[in-house]
């Protein structure tokens, strides 16, 4: 046994540290299109103290560390680009506290979205968190680190906006609390009225520290929910329609989708309007307000509400939406990846045309979807392409389509979400130099030995 | 044919991880993943490793093969996977195992299992002449008997399984059922051999059994084990079988319904473990519950995860002997014992000799043997027969 493995075993026990090729291989890749790179070690800590010891060991040995949740960002963010230790956080799976009155939860860094959803359903039926459409094994911590979104994003913003406090193991191995939990027992604020230090960790893709605890806001869970789907074949109208609907402030979630398979959907843009309420009267009132807000488009026959069959309703109401994951195998190839830039609403029509145009150019199948963020200040637009994992040529074409999509959106002024290392470069190349300098200075200050997820957010 | 199928399809797994959960996402429901926690031990991990092995990116190692054989083929993954290929996942695992068997690249414990079945007709390496040692005078099947009671290897040789076989035979006798056994002439059913990928041996076992059943004129078989029920119902017909097959819980439920078994009060608090090969494989969820609920005074207390969400005991795919998932409090059987105890029940009812063997050990490891008794349903029925209680 080599020295690093021996030290890891001493920290977490022999069952939870490995340098076997099976783990090095699997943890060296993700389901997306980025080039794999094998880990040297995989370790699964159970406590914050174990995380601290591992980080201190990594500093001493100058070995890099990549913290990992489920590894489903699809953009290679947990591929250990320079080898080293992949730290699988999923054994840190305790839901520590739910403060029902203040509507927040505190979870360990490996708690999954599925586990929290179930815990709230069973024990706090009036509360919910913003469940992403990603598979339920995805972790709360990883989701906020990448500025993920969920079912409540239209109402309350990015899931990272819902953070109420953090416990972070810094790249030096010290533990730091962020927000109200740093001065008292409560986790009701991630910063305000103090300086908001959560920004040192959210969006940094694990390069500035490891989240071992997350405080997260919870929201009222309404007794009933419903779905309406408005369809138009005019992508140019989408920003206006969204503006009208969001003006009502009646909608839980707004998602827009367009896809070429099955063929009946081709050429149309579907706006999923999710409504929630505590009574039939409230639901009816919200539904009426939404109808009224788009009546002009219906009257002009530019848009109409579609009939939703039972299976489709079930699929869309499901949260997380299992059918979204099934997109990966729509052509029996087992792969899909998406570039998901954050864009102002007005860029929707151009993006909607581009996703289809790139699919033709690179001979791949597309899905284009968007999710409105925080009442319409911006949206996430997903350029999604499927690929056959056994077809290297098709994988290469999908990769090119995604890269071209990223450059297109960046040129238009969009921000690349959970960017892979190439997309990070695209962002940094276009970034104000002083902003970039500030980012690099912060990173260097926090991680002097450059051990945290190296290769990410690195300027030349 | 199967090997080609798996090799051309296995890249389709996205490793999304739905397979790790039950329907409500409340906990981890893949026994091997729950035990080891490295993603490599989940279904997605296993499928990606096999694909890597097929491509030449991952070299065969004993550990790789062990990871493959820690899958108990419980089918939780099939229940939860969102992809259209979900029904094929177990076939892919079996196909990869079969490939490794053909190449002679299997872990020693797996090889010993096959050698024992090949040489002795059972995985315990116990004498064929002792196969009916449990039978205690149970009559040998003769033409005209309605049912052949197929006991299987666990019922024949495992101490707990023998107890189960005896109580079932007693209940059937008490109900006046016309049945017999093959005694020392019985042979391994082959379910585990199939799931573990030894297709040549499996075919031999099926042919031998079919031949014997034909020679004896067997028309109806009732099995002690859901594993035997599964293979005889779903695999034997394509290899020439022509008999009806029932799991004993189906037969008992009918006998009770027809008032051929009368039950006296039994004030037990009972929780029930759905065996994978009865439940997820064959959708038999209600008959065992009907039997239990027909016992006056018996209170059935469901575990949180039940029916299609039941957590496997960890004994499938030969692991009731190889026990690749053993060790520590995260072994599946120990986890499930804690689930059962949490219901407040005093008895954990099973309908499978593999579950019985796994849980009988686990309840001791958990130090709960004074608080929770593991019993087969036929034992509970036997104890509830009026003649037994008065």
DSSP A369-387: EEEEEGGGTEEEEEEEEEE
Does residue A136 share a domain with residue A252? no
Between A23, A29, A334, which is nearest B13 by CB?
A334
Is A302 inside any structural domain? Answer: yes
Q: Do the Cβ atoms of B162 and B193 come closer than 8 Å?
A: no
ipTM tops 0.90: yes
Does residue A240 share a domain with residue A109? no
Is A215 inside any structural domain? Answer: yes
DSSP calls for A315-351: HHHSSS-HHHHHGGGTTSSEEEEEE--EE-GGGHHHH
Is A155 inside any structural domain? Answer: yes
Does residue A249 share a domain with residue A360? yes
pLDDT (0 to 100) of residue B390 = 42
Q: Is the pLDDT of residue A373 over 80?
A: yes
Residue A177's Cβ-count burial label (10 Å; 0-12, 13-18, 19+) is middle
Spell out which residues of chain A touch residue B57, defining contact as CB-CB under 8 Å: 25
| Structural domains of chain A, count | 3
Is A426 inside any structural domain? Answer: no
Tens-digit pLDDT profile for residues B215-249: 999 999 999 999 999 999 999 999 999 999 999 99
Spell out which residues of chain B touch residue A13, defining contact as CB-CB under 8 Å: none
Is A450 inside any structural domain? Answer: no
Between B9, B39, B61, which is nearest A21 by CB?
B61
pLDDT (0 to 100) of residue A262 = 84
The CA distance from B367 to the nearest CA of chain A, in Å, is 23
Mutation target among A111, A137, A325 for the B interface, most CBs of B within 10 A: A137
Tens-digit pLDDT profile for residues A5-25: 999 999 999 999 999 999 999
Q: How far apart are CA A119 and CA A125, in angstroms?
A: 9
Is A459 inside any structural domain? Answer: no
Q: Do the Cβ atoms of A218 and A129 come closer than 8 Å?
A: yes
Calculate the CA B335 to chain-centre distance: 18
Q: How far apart are CA A381 and CA A374, in angstroms?
A: 14
Does residue A82 share a domain with residue A163? no
* 3-state DSSP assignment of residue A19: coil
* CATH number for position A331: 3.40.462.10
The 10 Å Cβ neighbour count of residue A105 is 25
Structure tokens at A395: 């994988």
What radius of gyration do chain B's Cα atoms show? 20
For domain B119-253, give the fold: Rossmann fold (3.40.50)
Q: Is the pLDDT of residue A286 over 80?
A: yes
Spell out which residues of chain B touch residue A137, defining contact as CB-CB under 8 Å: 16-18, 20-21
Spell out which residues of chain A touch residue B61, defining contact as CB-CB under 8 Å: 20-22
Mean of the pLDDT values across residues A429-454?
98
Interchain contact B329–A (C-beta under 8 A) = no
Does residue A290 share a domain with residue A200? no
Does residue A309 share a domain with residue A357? yes
Q: How far apart are CA B248 and CA B287, in angstroms?
A: 10
Cβ partners under 8 Å of residue A424, min gap 6:
A416, A456, A457, A458
Residue B375's Cβ-count burial label (10 Å; 0-12, 13-18, 19+) is buried
Q: Do the Cβ atoms of B367 and B282 come closer than 8 Å?
A: no
Could you state, in order of their start, the residue ranges of all structural domains in chain B? 2-106, 119-253, 260-389
Does residue A306 share a domain with residue A386? yes
Does residue A380 share a domain with residue A317? yes
pLDDT (0 to 100) of residue A1 = 63
Residues of A with CB under 8 A from a CB of B: 15-16, 18, 20-23, 25-27, 29, 31, 42, 44, 70-72, 88, 90-91, 112, 114-115, 117-119, 121-122, 135-137, 322-323, 325-326, 328-329, 332-336, 388-390
Q: Is the pLDDT of residue A203 over 90?
A: yes
Would you call A15 and B328 a contact, using CB atoms and an 8 Å cutoff?
yes
Tens-digit pLDDT profile for residues B246-277: 999 999 999 999 999 999 999 999 999 999 99
Q: How far apart are CA B10 and CA B280, in angstroms?
A: 22
Q: How far apart are CA A336 and CA B14, in angstroms?
A: 9
Closest-CA residue of A relative to B50 is: A22
Q: What is the dihedral of CA A261, A265, A268, A270, to 10 degrees?
A: -100
Structure tokens at A252: 């839980």
Does residue A206 share a domain with residue A328? no
Whole-model pTM: value is 0.97
Interchain contact B305–A (C-beta under 8 A) = no
Closest by alpha carbon to B82, among A255, A262, A73, A135? A135
Q: How far apart are CA A459 and CA B86, in angstroms?
A: 43
Between A20, A137, A326, which is nearest B63 by CB?
A20
Does residue A237 share a domain with residue A152? no
Cβ partners under 8 Å of residue A174, min gap 6:
A52
pLDDT (0 to 100) of residue A2 = 86
Spell out which residues of chain B touch residue A21, defining contact as CB-CB under 8 Å: 58-59, 61
For domain B260-389, give the fold: Rossmann fold (3.40.50)
Does residue A286 share a domain with residue A180? no
pLDDT (0 to 100) of residue B327 = 86
Does residue A407 share a domain with residue A338? yes
Q: How far apart are CA B258 and CA B262, in angstroms?
A: 10
Q: Domain boundary residue among A44, A71, A90?
A: A90
Q: How far apart are CA A73 and CA A290, in angstroms?
A: 33
Range of the domain at A359: 224-412
* CATH number for position A73: 3.30.43.10
Tens-digit pLDDT profile for residues B75-102: 999 999 999 999 999 999 999 999 999 9
Is A131 inside any structural domain? Answer: yes
């Amino acid at each position: 046994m080599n020295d690093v493995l021996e030290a890891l075993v001493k920290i977490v026990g022999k069952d939870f540290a490995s340098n076997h090729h099976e783990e090095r291989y699997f943890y060296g890749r993700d389901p997306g299109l980025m080039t794999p790179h094998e880990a040297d070690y995989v370790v699964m800590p159970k406590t914050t103290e174990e995380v601290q010891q591992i980080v201190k060991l990594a500093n001493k040995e100058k070995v890099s560390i990549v913290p990992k949740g489920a590894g489903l960002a699809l953009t290679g963010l947990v591929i250990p680009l320079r080898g080293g230790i992949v730290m699988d956080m999923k054994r840190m799976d305790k839901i520590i506290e739910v403060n029902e009155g203040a509507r927040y939860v505190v979870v360990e860094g490996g708690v999954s979205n599925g586990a929290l959803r179930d815990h709230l359903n069973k024990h706090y039926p009036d509360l919910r968190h913003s469940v992403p459409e990603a598979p339920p094994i995805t972790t709360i911590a990883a989701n906020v680190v990448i500025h993920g979104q969920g079912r409540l994003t239209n109402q309350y913003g990015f899931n990272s906006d819902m953070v109420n406090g953090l416990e972070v193991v810094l790249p030096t191995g010290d533990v730091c609390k962020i927000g109200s939990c740093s001065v008292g027992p409560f986790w009701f604020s991630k910063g305000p009225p103090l300086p908001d230090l959560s920004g040192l960790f959210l969006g940094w893709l694990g390069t500035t520290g490891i989240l071992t605890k997350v405080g997260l806001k919870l929201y009222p869970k309404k007794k009933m929910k419903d779905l309406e789907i408005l369809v138009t074949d005019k992508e140019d109208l989408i920003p206006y329609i969204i503006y009208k609907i969001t003006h009502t402030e009646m909608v839980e979630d707004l998602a827009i989708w367009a896809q070429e398979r099955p063929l009946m959907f081709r050429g149309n843009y579907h706006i999923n309007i999710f409504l929630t309420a505590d009574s039939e009267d409230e639901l009816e009132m919200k539904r009426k307000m939404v109808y009224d807000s788009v009546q002009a488009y219906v009257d002009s026959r530019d848009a109409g509400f579609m009939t939703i069959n039972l299976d489709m309703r079930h699929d869309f109401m499901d949260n997380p939406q299992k059918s979204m994951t099934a997109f990966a195998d729509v052509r029996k190839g087992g792969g899909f990846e998406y570039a998901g830039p954050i864009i102002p609403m007005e860029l929707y029509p151009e993006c909607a045309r581009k996703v289809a145009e790139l699919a033709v150019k690179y001979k791949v199948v597309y899905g284009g979807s968007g999710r409105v963020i925080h009442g319409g200040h911006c949206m996430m637009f997903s350029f999604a392409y499927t690929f056959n994992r056994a077809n290297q040529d098709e994988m290469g074409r999908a990769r090119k389509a995604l890269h071209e999509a990223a450059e297109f959106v960046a040129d238009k002024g969009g921000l690349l979400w959970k960017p892979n290392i190439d997309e990070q470069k695209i962002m940094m190349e276009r970034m104000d130099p002083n902003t970039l300098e500030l980012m690099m200075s912060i990173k260097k200050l926090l991680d002097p030995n450059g051990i945290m997820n190296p290769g990410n957010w690195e300027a030349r | 044919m199967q090997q080609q199928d798996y090799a051309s399809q296995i890249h389709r797994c996205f490793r999304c991880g739905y397979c790790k959960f039950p329907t409500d996402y409340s906990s981890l429901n893949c026994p091997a993943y729950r035990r080891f926690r490295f993603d490599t031990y989940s279904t997605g991990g296993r499928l990606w490793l096999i694909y890597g092995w097929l491509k030449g990116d991952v070299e065969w190692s004993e550990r790789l093969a062990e990871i493959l054989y820690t899958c108990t083929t419980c089918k939780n993954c099939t229940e939860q996977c969102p992809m259209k290929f979900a029904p094929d996942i177990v076939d892919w695992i079996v196909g990869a195992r079969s490939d490794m068997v053909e190449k002679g690249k299997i872990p020693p414990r797996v090889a010993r299992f096959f050698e024992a079945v090949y040489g002795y007709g059972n995985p315990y390496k116990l004498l064929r002449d002792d196969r009916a040692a449990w039978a205690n005078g149970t009559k040998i099947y003769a033409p005209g008997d309605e049912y052949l009671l197929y006991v299987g290897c666990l019922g024949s040789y495992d101490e707990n399984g023998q107890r189960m076989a005896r109580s079932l035979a007693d209940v059937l006798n008490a109900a006046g059922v016309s049945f017999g056994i093959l005694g020392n002439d019985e042979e391994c059913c082959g379910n585990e051999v199939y799931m573990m990928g030894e297709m040549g041996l499996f075919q031999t076992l099926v042919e031998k059994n079919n031949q014997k059943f034909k020679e004896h004129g067997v028309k109806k078989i009732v099995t002690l084990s859901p594993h035997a029920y599964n293979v005889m119902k779903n695999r034997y017909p394509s290899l020439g079988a022509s008999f009806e097959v029932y799991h004993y819980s189906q037969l008992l439920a009918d006998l009770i319904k027809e008032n051929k078994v009368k039950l006296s009060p039994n004030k037990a608090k009972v929780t029930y473990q759905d065996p994978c090969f009865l439940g997820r494989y064959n959708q038999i969820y209600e008959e065992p519950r009907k039997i239990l609920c027909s016992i006056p005074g018996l209170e059935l207390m469901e575990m949180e995860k039940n029916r299609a969400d039941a957590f496997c005991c960890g004994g499938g795919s030969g692991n009731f002997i190889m026990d690749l998932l053993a060790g520590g409090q995260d072994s599946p059987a120990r986890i499930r014992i804690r689930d059962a105890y949490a219901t407040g029940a005093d008895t954990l009812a099973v309908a499978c000799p593999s579950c019985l063997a796994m849980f009988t050990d686990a309840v001791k490891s958990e130090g709960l043997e004074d608080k929770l008794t593991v019993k087969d349903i036929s034992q509970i029925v036997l104890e509830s027969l009026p003649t037994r209680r008065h």
